[in-house]
Amino acid sequence: MLGAQACTLSANRLLTVAVPWLVLDRTGSAAQTGLVVACQVLPYAFTQWLAGPLLDRIGPRRISAAGDVTSAVVLIIPAIFGTPPLWLLTAMLVLVGCADGPASAAKRLLVPFAAADAGQSTARGVGLATAVERTATAVGTALAGWLVATLGGDRALWAAAAMLGVATLIVTLTVTDPVRDHGRDDETYVDRLRTGAAFLRGNSPLRALTAMFVVTNLLDQALMAVLLPIWARAGGHDATVVGLALSTVGLASIASALASAGFGARLPRRATYLIGVLSSGPTRIIVLALGLPPEAVIAVYALAGIGSGLFNPLLETIQVELIPAPLRGRVQTLISAWAWAGIPVGGLLGAVLLSAGGLNLALWVCGIAYLAAVLRPAWRMDWSLPSLPPLPEPSLPRVPAPRRPTGRRSPRLRIKVVRADVAAPVSVREHISRS
């Protein structure tokens, strides 16, 4: 499962570099490049939400394989028909976005089941999956740049198609599907969507997490797209400082995600969440507002990467615990769709704040809003471990009463059962070992 995710994520990072380069090389227009890239990104989140009922009904294994095969077939069109025109390239990327959204959601759903099949905990599986994702982001992008420079944009698409093909083989041959939720016979597709929305609406901890995801993704996009580059230019720094800071975040998050996979399940949850979000969220914005030198900014961003790798696997594990297995496809894809909702307008928000009050005020507003968003779930959620099902009480065997001999009175037998001796409370570790 981790190998399939590595292939898919590397192919996605390759597309993020190859497609803009291909469009710029052909048209020289930044506006057309942005439009083509948006045609791939926008369907990604929307189709994830629409695929939720299908993930629960058909199974994530089939959805993952079908999505990767579709993307791979679309990407080899240039190899068959030559360099496509711009309208065909745009249509290709729309199809890739529509297929990649459900496929990525399916692999995310398969991680807890694959971890259970491997005899590992959900926390360890999610931590390793997070480390794979961060590695693909940090290393895959550099590899993509080398492939585009060496092979060219068209042939780099072939490499992405090959990676998706390998991911399809891995999922098809090695991963088992979880038990599917067939639902009622009269339940329509829209009814199943409503069931997932109703569950999310009625679960207060999941609502708090979803609201936090929406706000933080919005502010992260404002920081990455507008505020951080403007800060670097206003301070007389070049793009090297920005790239070094972002690379530091990625590398540090890989190390902390691996650490989370190793012993994250033994850490106190609320404290881990607070340390992680406070070090990785508002500090990245406030350090810019304080006007500290680049060396201090890079050091703070390294701490932010450590915090990010700690709390993201924790939140993923909590979602797995709070959502019943038959509803995970619908509920988790809906949460992802909400989390992506603020990203398209994040850059616009940063530009508006800059125009209204300048860089310093925009940074302080975003930093305080980020702090409020991440503190809310800390007190709206129950951070205790999920309760284990009670052990069945042992039943005493029924012993037939002895027959009294006639003419002779036998003494009455009295048996006293002390409940504490029969069903004594056990620790969580003993409970798991008995199960």
Write the DSSP symbol of residue 219. H
Q: Round to whole Å and give the CA distance between 181 and 177.
A: 12
- Residue written as token pair 């720094």: 237
Q: Round to whole Å and give the CA distance between 142 and 428.
A: 45
Percent of the chain with pLDDT over 70: 84
240 has a pLDDT exceeding 60? yes
Question: What is the structure's pLDDT at 423?
Answer: 38
| Class level of CATH domain 1-180 | mainly alpha
396 has a pLDDT exceeding 80? no
Q: Are 288 and 231 in contact (CB under 8 A)?
A: yes
Q: How confident is the model at residue 292 (pLDDT cuts 50, 70, 90)?
A: confident
Distances in whole angstroms, Cα of residue 415 to Cα of each of 16, 399, 424: 75, 12, 19
Token reading at 44 = 């990604």
- At 318-357, the pLDDT tens digits run 998 899 888 888 898 899 888 888 887 888 888 888 888 8
Question: What is the structure's pLDDT at 30?
Answer: 63
Q: 202 or 246: whose pLDDT is higher? A: 202
Distances in whole angstroms, Cα of residue 208 to Cα of each of 109, 212, 260, 370, 384: 21, 6, 23, 14, 16
Q: Which of 27-31, 240-244, 255-259, 419-423 has the lowest mean pLDDT?
A: 419-423
Tell me what percent of the chain is helix, strand and coil, each rounded to the nearest 5. Answer: 80, 0, 20
Q: Which of 71-75, 225-229, 369-373, 389-393 has the lowest mean pLDDT?
A: 389-393
State mean pLDDT over 52-59: 85
- At 152-187, the pLDDT tens digits run 667 778 888 899 999 999 998 888 877 666 666 567
Amino acid at 239: A
Q: 286 or 387: whose pLDDT is higher? A: 286
* Sequence-ordered alpha helix ranges (H) in 28-59: 30-50, 52-57
Q: Round to whole Å and give the CA distance between 161 and 159.
A: 5
Q: Which CATH architecture has domain 196-383?
A: Up-down Bundle (1.20)
Q: Round to whole Å and give the CA distance between 277 and 340.
A: 19
Q: Round to whole Å and give the CA distance between 338 and 317.
A: 19
Q: pTM to 2 decimals?
A: 0.75
Phi-psi region of 85 (alpha: psi -120 to 50; beta: other; left: phi over 0): beta
Q: How many Cβ atoms sit within 10 Å of the Cβ of residue 422? A: 11
Distances in whole angstroms, Cα of residue 270 to Cα of each of 161, 217, 276, 381, 382: 42, 21, 10, 9, 9
Instruction: Spell out the domain ranges in the chain.
Output: 1-180, 196-383
Q: How many Cβ atoms sit within 10 Å of the Cβ of residue 432? A: 10
CA nearest to 365, candidates 278, 308, 245, 282? 282
Question: What is the structure's pLDDT at 46?
Answer: 82
CA nearest to 265, candidates 313, 325, 206? 313
363 has a pLDDT exceeding 90? yes
Q: How many Cβ atoms sit within 10 Å of the Cβ of residue 24? A: 15
